[in-house]
Structure formats: structure tokens, C-alpha cells
Structure 1
Amino acid sequence: MRPPFRIAVLECDTPLENINLKYGGYGGVFTRLLKASAVVLGGINPDTDLIISKFDIVDGTEYPSLEEVDAILLTGSKHDSFADEPWIHTLVEFTKKAYAHDRVRIIGICFGHQIIGRALGAPVGRSDIGWEISVCDMDLTEKGKELFGTEKLSLQQMHQDIVSAYPKEVVPLASSPKCAVQGMYIPRKLITVQGHPEFNTEIMSAILDRRKQLGIFSDAAYKEALSRATNAHDGVTVGAAFLRFLLEE
């Protein structure tokens, strides 16, 4: 596929208010990531080669026409990917249609990664191990090392739900002690990560603060996670891998 790339961001949640105002929703957060990744990758003009649209699929009803986009990107979400809710069923069915399309490519992050797993028939649900939060390391498969161009990968994480087995069609990319299915890949079809390449320290810290206030995280878990929120991570490396995936012929 050649640029310009028409990428539809399916916003599966709304960021916290201050983050939403600053970045313009998750569509804005991912625009920031993909443009930064294009600069690092080279060969893709971040201003003219990335045509990014966004669709609120939780509170809205409009989806992109698959004939008018080159890729869809499913964002993270506070919602459960396994929930029996109408908008989630609609998203799963749309993902199946995109997967069956002969041209459109799919990118999934966290909740989006899980929705893609669900659409491909993999089991999705709560982890028995619990939350994986803040910057965490993961181990890469050989294909993961090839696609991400590194021996190890660190990403911001914020999940207690997982894809608990790989769909038979996909190539595994990564694992961690708390999540065996950290990434999935099918050439020219889909690429996913369980982590959040789009999160920076500001976004992660805001989520940790809110979930501490809500009593979701204990004082000890909050402080430990906050201490790692500023650690270096490979978000732009993953973003560059997404763009290389779109370039695959």
C-alpha cells in the first residue's frame, strides 16, 4: 500500500476531561502518535500522507465506509471488550467486515486488540492475575523482533482484560508475565498490541490519579505504578511498526 493513508480512528472511549480538551479525544492522541512515528520512520510526510478521521462509536452511530478508508484503528477503552452491549456487538460485526475486506487493514490497541481477538473467535475476559499498569516490559517473538526492530519492548499498560488465546490465523508478537497475548499480526491484514503506545506520562498519570480516587487501585499499587509512569517506553517504535505494516505490499 502506498501513501497517503486514509486512517479511520474508531474512538471506543473518551479521555479524561483535561486530556480530552488538550488532545481532542483519542483521535487526537493517535494523530499525535502517528505523526511522530512518521517523522522517526521517514519516507512518510506526517502532514500530507496521513489522512486521519475519527468516529465516536460509543455515543455515536456512524462508522466509516470501508470503501473510503485504507485502515481502521480501534482504540483502547474503559469498557469491557466481552460485554453484551449493543454498541460492542456492532463494533465486533464491523471488525469482522473489515477483516473480510480485500484491502482494508486493521490496527488494534488494548480494548481494540481484544475486540479483534473476539471478532476472530478468541476467548476474551478478565485476567486471573489482575491489572497490568504503567510502563511494563514484554518479551518479543522472532516475528515481533522483526516487526518492531528491537529485542525487547516496553509499553504503557492499563488493563485487567485479556485475549487469553491466540486466534489460529494470527502470528504471535509478544508476551508478558501478566498477559500471554500481547500482540497479534497477519501480513497486510492486521496488527495489534495490548499496551498503549499512544500514552505518555501525562495521560498515564491522569488515569492513575482518577482510578486511585475511585478506589480501583490501592495506595501501594498506585504509588508503585506512578513511579514507573515516567520510564522510557517504545510507543513511537510501535507507531512506526504500524506505519510499516500499512506500507506492506
Structure 2
Amino acid sequence: MRIGILKCGQSPEVIRGEVGDYDDMFVRLLAGRGFDFDSYHVEAMQFPATVHDADGWLITGSRHGAYEDHTFIPPLEGFIRTAHDAGVPLVGICFGHQIIAQALGGRVDKHPGGWAVGPQDYDFGDQVVTLNAWHQDQVTALPPGAEPLGSNAFCENAALVYGDRAFTVQAHPEFGDDVIDGLMEHRAGSVPGPLIDRARARRGQADAGPVVDRIEAFFKAAQQRKDRRGAA
């Protein structure tokens, strides 16, 4: 199954040589699960020709806000709506989570409570999952068809599912401790010191496995439906 990664930003240059760029992180995260990958740097206006150029799409994080005025955001929103309407599965992470919600009629805002940094616990109903986070923005109003799947006291809409069309997560399953350490060192200018201390104290507690399993299952279920339609 071919997954197209829509890269909406880049990891900090000072740590990119050690941890890779955002698309590299997802390739590592999903390695050994039967996927092939193509990457498109949409932040630099490199878009696929059509939503059918891959079997599914994964939209990465970004330092930008979904509500900000950037050249790549309107065509990305159009791409999301086209893929959603065509039934091509979408997975969104952090900014990807937010831009999918916004493109489909939801709302994204900067959280008045500030930042979520480092390991955070999320209630997924059947289990508590600890994921690394790095965000201020949140989905504050759900678009039609979106249902909450994961949450905590700080982030009510931490994971969303849109039927069989999209699965999105606010936190970063692709961020290991090395990425969080790099962000705290190089991109933490407005993050309060106590949050940094708390993140460092919880270093090593994140376990992305349950979310990676959900991403794999979501994509493969979509591919099975496509195969059944083709065989009919």
C-alpha cells in the first residue's frame, strides 16, 4: 500500500541531521508494516497531481497555524476535501489533525491555557495512551462527521475519527525523546520553564505503539474496501 506523506513543515535544521525531517520520522514509525512511501513538501507548494496518486495520505505537523495566511494552506484544504469526498483515507498528526478539521468545517484556535509539551496521557476509551506532544493550537469545534476518539483535560479533541474517511491525532506518535529534547532546546522560547521541567521528568514514558497500530489498521481497512470494490 502506497502512502503519500504531505510534509507541512520541517524539523529544526539544528537537529535534522540527527533525527531526520518529518517525513523521515513517519517512514521510521511505520516501517515493517507493509507500506511504501512518497513524500511531497506541500509547505513549499509541492503537491501531488491528484488525490489518487497514493492509496492513502498522511499529513504532518508544522510550525504554522492552520488559521494563518500561508500560500500552501488553501490548496491543502482543497486537497483534503477532494480526498475526503473521494474516500481516499487521510491520517493527520498535530497540524495535520487541525488542518483536516478546519478544511472540513471545524475550527482551530490557540489554546488560552498555553502549551502541551512532552509525554501526555490520553483517554482513548478502551485504554490510556501516553504520547509526546508539542502544541498550543487545538481543534475547538468539530466539523460535521467527526467523532472524538481520544481526549484529556487539556485537549478535549485529541483524536478524531471521520467514519472510514479520516483518523487524526493532536499529539506526535512520530516524536521520540530525541525530538522532544531538540525542540525544548531550540524551539521552546515561549514555553514556560515548569512545563519543560515536567516534560524532562517524564522522559521515556511515551509509547506510540497503540496509535501506530490504529494508523496501520485504518489504512489497511481502507485498502481492503478498495480491493473488494475492484473485485466486484
**Residues 105 and 144 in structure 2, CA contact (< 8 A), matched pair in contact too:** no
Cα distance, 1:23 vs structure 2:
4.5
Asked whether 1:53 is paired with 2:38, we answer yes
**Residues 10 and 21 in structure 2, CA contact (< 8 A), matched pair in contact too:** yes
Q: Which residue of structure 2 lines up, in the alignment, with residue 113 of structure 1?
A: 97
Aligned partners of 1:28 and 1:52: how far apart in 2? 10
Q: What are the Cα deviations for residues 93-150 of structure 1, in whole angstroms up to 9, with x where unaligned? A: 1111111113x10000000000000011111111121111100101223xxx3xxxxx
> What is the aligned counterpart of 2:205 among 229, 232, 248?
232
Scaled by the length of structure 2, the TM-score of the pair is: 0.90
SS at match of 2:210: helix
SS at match of 1:164: strand
Cα distance, 1:92 vs structure 2:
1.1
> What is the aligned counterpart of 2:62 among 77, 83, 91?
77
Cα distance, 1:211 vs structure 2:
2.4
Give the number of equivalent residue pairs. Answer: 222
AA aligned opposite 1:80: G
**Residues 7 and 40 in structure 2, CA contact (< 8 A), matched pair in contact too:** yes
Cα distance, 1:162 vs structure 2:
0.5
Aligned partners of 2:131 and 2:49: how far apart in 1? 29
Q: Which residue of structure 1 lines up, in the alignment, with residue 24 of structure 2?
A: 28
> What is the aligned counterpart of 1:188 among 161, 164, 187?
164
Aligned partners of 1:227 and 1:86: how far apart in 2? 39
Name structure 1 gaps, 5 residues minimum: 39-48, 146-150
Q: What are the Cα deviations for residues 47-93 of structure 1, in whole angstroms up to 9, with x where unaligned? A: xx311010111123332532221111000111111112221111111
- Say which is worse superposed, 18-27 or 156-165, in terms of deviation: 18-27
Aligned partners of 1:205 and 1:66: how far apart in 2? 35
Name structure 2 gaps, 5 residues minimum: 226-232
**Residues 2 and 37 in structure 2, CA contact (< 8 A), matched pair in contact too:** yes
Aligned partners of 2:191 and 2:112: how far apart in 1? 16
SS at match of 2:181: helix
Identity across matched positions, percent: 30
